Amino acid sequence: MIRKALSGGLRFYQRYITLLGFGSCRYYPTCSEYAKWQIQTNPNIFHAIISSIVRILRCNQLFVGGIDYPKISCKHLHPVYKNDTTPTISFWFVPDQKGCSVIKNIFSKGPQ
């Protein structure tokens, strides 16, 4: 329920608010995309929200920016599917020293 509400708010922001041209993000993926990936993949919703807020606070001139993929715990991975009937790989989870990096599967076809 909370995930759907947050995802809906982010979708609204990405479709309508960003069209007004309020600057640009210093990171890839953008802060809103980072938050969306965190909400979709992180098993702990509160950790996803806190990580997203910290990322937004870092998106300013005091930080260099660059590539910063969401990090989640590799111990609690759960499958992420578009729907329950046809499993679709939406994300890749790449292990590193701090957990797992979440990377969007850009090669899959179908609705994003």
Q: Which amino acid does the sequence have at 21?
A: G
pLDDT of residue 49: 92
Residue 53 pLDDT grade (very low, low, confident, very high; cuts 50, 70, 90): very high
95 beta partners: 100
Domain boundaries, the chain: 2-104
pLDDT at 80 over 50: yes
pLDDT of residue 77: 59
| Total-model pTM | 0.74
Q: Per residue in 22-60, is it b (16+ CB within 10 Å) or e — as a string? A: eeebbbebbbbbbbbbbbbbbeeeeebbebbeebeeebe
Strand 99-104 relative to strand 71-72, pairing: antiparallel
